[in-house]
Amino acid sequence: MQEQEKIQQIPVKVYRSEDRLMVAAPMPGMQPEDIIVGIAENGDLIIRGEIRALLKDIKELLVDEWSVGMYYRELHLPNAVDGQHANITYGNGVLVVALPISRNGQTTPATLILEKVGVAHGEYVGKAGRM
């Protein structure tokens, strides 16, 4: 495995309000179309990011003190959530996932892919209200 292909675990911050969970994860250097967010039936949140064409035209890397993608994180959520109605944004290198807490106590699984809405910005709107 080459150095740039090593998988990095993403650090997260998880917040809870009365009606939603919010997960923030730094993922610098990504494009929205390279990020996939999944909510599994068992209540796990899965975040994946894969860089395409990393360092494609660079012939000689002189200093390499931080890495960009591949990113991966699997996290068991503290509440059942409705994955199909999640809102997701990506901007300034940070992914924010807003998950409505399930009213029936059951997690609704989903695989969510962001839509590009600008340069290195993306979103997925599941109609869960404001971000």
Tokens of 13: 């911050």
Give the contacts of 103 (CB within 8 A, at least 6 positions apart).
Answer: none
**14-49 pLDDT, tens per residue?**
999 999 999 999 998 888 889 999 999 999 999 999
CA angle 38, 39, 42 (to 5 degrees): 135
Is the pLDDT assigned to residue 53 strictly greater than 70?
A: no
Domain residue spans of the chain: 3-53+65-125
pTM here is 0.82
Residue 13: pLDDT band by 50, 70, 90 thresholds? very high
Architecture of domain 3-53+65-125: Sandwich (2.60)
